[in-house]
Copies of this chain bind each other. A is one copy, B any other.
Amino acid sequence: MEAEGLPEPDFSIEQLGERRFPSPLQRIMEVRYRSDNECLLVQPEFDCRIEPDHAPAAAATMELAGPRAQVFFDTGRVRAAIVTCGGLCPGLNAVIRGLVMQLWYLYDCRQVLGIRFGYQGLGNAAQESIMLTPARVSAINGRGGTILGSSRGTPPTAELVDNLERRGIDMLFVIGGDGSMRGGTALWEEIRRRRLQIAVVGIPKTIDNDIPWVRRTFGFDTAVAEAVKAINAAEVEANGMPHGIGLVKLMGRAAGFIAATACVASGNANACLIPEVPFQLEGPNGLLALLEKRLHERNHAVVVVAEGAGQHLVAGQGTDASGNPHLGDIGACLKQRITEHFHSRNLRCAMKYIEPSYLIRAAAPNASDQLYCDQLARAAVHAAMAGKGGLLIGNWNGRLVHIPMQALKGRTSQVNPHGELWFSVLENTGQPRLLD
Contacts and interface: CB of A to CB of B under 8 A. Distances in A.
A105 B267 CA distance: 14
A372 B145 CA distance: 27
B41 A261 contact: no
A291 interface: no
26 contacts: A29-B423, A29-B426, A29-B433, A30-B418, A32-B419, A37-B48, A38-B45, A38-B47, A38-B48, A41-B46, A45-B399, A145-B237, A150-B241, A152-B241, A225-B368, A228-B367, A233-B359, A237-B362, A240-B362, A246-B358, A262-B367, A266-B367, A267-B374, A356-B359, A366-B368, A378-B427
A77 to B, nearest CB: 21
A110 interface: no
Given A53-B57, A368-B225, A361 B237 contact: yes
Interface string A248-268: 000000000000011011110
Classify the secondary structure of A's interface with B: mixed
Interface in A35-54: 35, 37-41, 44-50, 53-54
A318 interface: no
A427 B101 contact: yes
B428 A374 contact: yes
Interface residues of A, number: 101
A224 interface: yes
Nearest to A372: B265
A397 interface: yes
A151 B353 CA distance: 17
Residue among A49, A267, A423, A424 with most chain B CB within 10 A: A267
A183 to B, nearest CB: 17
A138 B41 CA distance: 40
A335 interface: no
B230 A149 contact: no
A75 interface: no
